[in-house]
Chain A
């Protein structure tokens, strides 16, 4: 056989070998995909958002929402949570060239540009002393809660920051100081005019009702008329009448608490009209009908102490909302649950300050393409985007940091 023939045969053998390998591997892949559970996959987008103008910096960032244009809205506590070494530009006199707290409400586009900013005290309404949670509703209105000492109100604005509605009065929860003169505010979870430090609002387009997670002082879910703010109904854990008795510290080995612990941190209604409530410190999600009938509960990372594991949730963007994305600020990760069973499929993230890591992920939202947005409180002070990469077989329970590949 001459050299040309040998070369030609070699090409043929390699090609046939590769074909055989391809067939074998693709069968394995198909079999693996059939057997493995699937979960949405994400990669952090380290370049989103773009740097803020005017030497602005974020304070503790405690709310995120995505509107119908896929613009991302966040709320943060700005200068109130910045040290003097971070806000030298706004001190009087200024102590340096950097920096200043950004306005509390910020709107970003998909490219990460800052489009709009507003917020803060003004005549006509009582801005929270410590704003908390932001929701852009189905009419494009912006709802804001607050968990400052005297915050017992929530506010509604237009997207441009025009004031529309205040429900509740600041300092409505004021009580005589206790013997030590310390506690000046107390919960009243059966009040029908004001709240007790509202964490978050969800607005149901079907019934035009606002579901209020109330909150850091009260221990209940409240339902309002979203136009008038009139109280319609409220309930506590298991659908019980809420009770403000101090339950003491959370004990993972004790029987489940009959009431929510503070804070009641989210209340989100799914497409099949199930209301998922974040009972943060009790490490659990409770599920209700919109009328307040208890359906089921699930514990998440039940050994988590301190602030608890169930901070905020968002639903996946498929029509069935098959998955829940849960921000766990205690354990510095995002958990992905199957919505029907509340079983955790996988999680990603880790503690740290690099892209894809977390310092107390506090709030979470999803855009129409399935991308995730998280905000971080305490010293996290940022918003991050995680790009949706489709459904993939679950390869590991703990994915760690989902760096771009």
Chain B
């Protein structure tokens, strides 16, 4: 009888329970990947609450029985980590990793702040068996080793960890052979993540991102439509769109290098100005149409005016692009500038595609209408109305932020931006002079040709205009 009672008591005290809790809301996977010679070490920490369907040995009070927990930890690490994480070298998946060590850590443990400390934690002694720790409050640390095909090479990561929780965030740090650290953070499973991309991989990835970004933002599309409405010639369109792209590339690159203001007031201000740019362009279209001015027929100065406006607004839109690009820059590897330029090229390709399509559609649609001018006014009015709504909405958000208090540091930043603006204005002025000279030469040549054909001297007005334009 005593033996039975003892067995029953032992069963109660040293029990094992299958841990099948709900899928946790937030799971953070912390990982270090470190190539060395022909091996790459992965040390990874996940909360045990995400390790479901595991038989957990427990002791009195519901605490984990630390003397018997290692098989459960190995089981959890195998089914949730070893089988869920793939490391690739130069585009080819490495053989599955070998689980070399596991540890249960307390939630307060800070070993995963550095690679060496994390590896030492896993290779070091386990927790004191007397420690009271609940399974769902602990962390699983695992070291997984992969055999490389050859030393060096470029590593990539592909994982199936989304199933660990409702929202899974992976924080991965690549510790290169020379000790440099490259940090990544993403949500869910984004597919293959190039940890050390070649320049063309980074460029291609950012080119795609640039194309995708144009189509994901209705405000940019509407702005492009407003540009397209009065322009028919492809050459003029491409010139204007390229000026827009060069302008937004300037501020986008500047932002990526940390020159943009960091205050909370800045993003809503930029969003507000983007809405204002739509309203401005739409109103300009309406006034030109009402006045019966044909932008392209009016010649160089009118086109240059639009070109100047799109350049100015391009600077603003560049900041808008930079907000979207902020989280992506970690994937540029060592090719930040290449990636930024590729992103801009992607944006340019998408913009040209959009604007040529829009201009063609506008031309075809307006050709069938009895009054293209009225159609231009109506479409521009719709754009202006939408832009105005955004302007009010975004302006209200921006208005909640007080103006930054002027300080010497803020004035330094203002001086930098004014300097950039002066350079941009000087560049724009120079290009405009070239425009005028080109237009003047063309007119002068046309006048001379006409004079030669008719046998009369060139008209006085044409000569004056040509002279003015080359001053």
B95 at the interface (CB under 8 A from A): no
**Contacts between the two chains (Cβ within 8 Å), count:** 97
Residue from A3, A22, A137 within 8 A of B416 (CB atoms): A22
Name which of A67, A68, A113, A162 has the most chain B CB atoms within 10 A of its CB.
Answer: A68
Contacting residues, chain A, for B263 (C-beta < 8 A): 405
Known interface pairs A18-B415, A29-B408. Does A139 touch B402 (Cβ–Cβ under 8 Å)?
no
Asked if B412 and A26 make an inter-chain contact with CB atoms under 8 angstroms apart, the answer reads: yes
A227 at the interface (CB under 8 A from B): yes
Which residues 123-140 in B have Cβ within 8 Å of A in the complex?
Answer: 131-134, 136-138
A69 at the interface (CB under 8 A from B): yes
A404 at the interface (CB under 8 A from B): yes
Asked if A403 and B402 make an inter-chain contact with CB atoms under 8 angstroms apart, the answer reads: yes
Asked if B25 and A115 make an inter-chain contact with CB atoms under 8 angstroms apart, the answer reads: yes
Contacting residues, chain A, for B442 (C-beta < 8 A): none
B10 at the interface (CB under 8 A from A): no
Asked if B422 and A18 make an inter-chain contact with CB atoms under 8 angstroms apart, the answer reads: yes
Asked if B408 and A14 make an inter-chain contact with CB atoms under 8 angstroms apart, the answer reads: no
Contacting residues, chain B, for A141 (C-beta < 8 A): 134, 137
B265 at the interface (CB under 8 A from A): yes
| Shortest beta-carbon distance from A224 to chain B in Å | 14
| Shortest beta-carbon distance from B109 to chain A in Å | 8
Asked if B401 and A109 make an inter-chain contact with CB atoms under 8 angstroms apart, the answer reads: no
Residue from A2, A159, A405 within 8 A of B265 (CB atoms): A405
Asked if A3 and B471 make an inter-chain contact with CB atoms under 8 angstroms apart, the answer reads: yes
B108 at the interface (CB under 8 A from A): yes
A80 at the interface (CB under 8 A from B): no
Asked if A139 and B264 make an inter-chain contact with CB atoms under 8 angstroms apart, the answer reads: no
A289 at the interface (CB under 8 A from B): no
Residue from A7, A137, A140 within 8 A of B429 (CB atoms): A7
| C-alpha gap A21/B414 in the complex (Å) | 10
| C-alpha gap A404/B433 in the complex (Å) | 44
Contacting residues, chain A, for B26 (C-beta < 8 A): 69, 71, 109, 115
Which residues 361-378 in A have Cβ within 8 Å of B in the complex?
Answer: none
B23 at the interface (CB under 8 A from A): no
Contacting residues, chain B, for A205 (C-beta < 8 A): 106, 108
Known interface pairs A11-B425, A22-B415, A68-B107. Does A4 touch B136 (Cβ–Cβ under 8 Å)?
no
Contacting residues, chain B, for A164 (C-beta < 8 A): 61
Asked if B137 and A159 make an inter-chain contact with CB atoms under 8 angstroms apart, the answer reads: yes
| C-alpha gap A247/B235 in the complex (Å) | 89
Contacting residues, chain A, for B28 (C-beta < 8 A): 69
Known interface pairs A22-B415, A68-B108. Does A162 touch B405 (Cβ–Cβ under 8 Å)?
no
B8 at the interface (CB under 8 A from A): no
| Shortest beta-carbon distance from A26 to chain B in Å | 5
| C-alpha gap A68/B412 in the complex (Å) | 39
Residue from A4, A162, A395 within 8 A of B471 (CB atoms): A4
| Shortest beta-carbon distance from B431 to chain A in Å | 13
Contacting residues, chain B, for A227 (C-beta < 8 A): 132
Query: Which residue from chain B places its CB closest to the CB of A20 in the assembled complex?
Result: B415
B411 at the interface (CB under 8 A from A): yes
Query: Which residue from chain A places its CB closest to the CB of B108 in the assembled complex?
Result: A138
Which residues 33-71 in B have Cβ within 8 Å of A in the complex?
Answer: 47, 61-62
Asked if A67 and B107 make an inter-chain contact with CB atoms under 8 angstroms apart, the answer reads: yes
Asked if B419 and A19 make an inter-chain contact with CB atoms under 8 angstroms apart, the answer reads: yes
Contacting residues, chain A, for B177 (C-beta < 8 A): none
Known interface pairs A4-B471, A159-B136. Does A32 touch B425 (Cβ–Cβ under 8 Å)?
no
Asked if B108 and A2 make an inter-chain contact with CB atoms under 8 angstroms apart, the answer reads: no
Known interface pairs A3-B471, A18-B415, A109-B26. Does A158 touch B134 (Cβ–Cβ under 8 Å)?
yes
| C-alpha gap A241/B137 in the complex (Å) | 38
| C-alpha gap A8/B423 in the complex (Å) | 11
Interface string of A128-141 (1 = CB under 8 A from B): 00000000011111
| C-alpha gap A158/B62 in the complex (Å) | 10
Which residues 276-311 in A have Cβ within 8 Å of B in the complex?
Answer: none
| C-alpha gap A77/B412 in the complex (Å) | 50
A43 at the interface (CB under 8 A from B): yes
Contacting residues, chain B, for A8 (C-beta < 8 A): 426
Contacting residues, chain A, for B134 (C-beta < 8 A): 139-141, 158-159, 162
Known interface pairs A405-B264, A405-B265. Does A25 touch B412 (Cβ–Cβ under 8 Å)?
yes
B409 at the interface (CB under 8 A from A): yes
Residue from B132, B264, B423, B471 within 8 A of A15 (CB atoms): B423
B418 at the interface (CB under 8 A from A): yes
Contacting residues, chain B, for A158 (C-beta < 8 A): 62, 134, 136-137
| Shortest beta-carbon distance from A350 to chain B in Å | 15
Contacting residues, chain A, for B422 (C-beta < 8 A): 11, 14-15, 18
A160 at the interface (CB under 8 A from B): yes
B179 at the interface (CB under 8 A from A): no
B258 at the interface (CB under 8 A from A): no
B404 at the interface (CB under 8 A from A): yes
Asked if B106 and A139 make an inter-chain contact with CB atoms under 8 angstroms apart, the answer reads: yes
| C-alpha gap A192/B47 in the complex (Å) | 37
Query: Which residue from chain A places its CB closest to the CB of B409 in the assembled complex?
Result: A29
| Shortest beta-carbon distance from A207 to chain B in Å | 13
Return 20 A-B CB contacts under 8 Å, by A number: A2-B471, A11-B425, A22-B412, A29-B409, A29-B412, A32-B408, A43-B264, A69-B47, A109-B26, A138-B106, A139-B108, A140-B133, A158-B136, A162-B62, A205-B108, A404-B400, A405-B265, A405-B401, A405-B404, A405-B405
Q: Interface residues, chain B, CB within 8 Å of chain A?
A: 25-26, 28, 47, 61-62, 106-108, 131-134, 136-138, 263-265, 400-402, 404-405, 407-409, 411-412, 415-416, 418-419, 422-423, 425-426, 429, 433, 471
A4-B433, A69-B47, A141-B134 known, 14 other contacts, Cβ within 8 Å:
A2-B471, A18-B422, A21-B411, A115-B25, A138-B107, A139-B106, A139-B108, A139-B133, A139-B137, A140-B106, A158-B62, A159-B136, A405-B401, A405-B402
Q: Sorted from nearest, which 7 A-B pairs have the closest CB atoms?
A: A140-B137, A138-B108, A22-B415, A68-B107, A11-B426, A140-B107, A18-B419
Q: Interface residues, chain A, CB within 8 Å of chain B?
A: 2-4, 7-8, 11, 14-15, 18-19, 21-22, 25-26, 28-29, 32, 43, 67-69, 71, 109, 113, 115, 137-141, 158-160, 162, 164, 205, 227, 395, 403-405
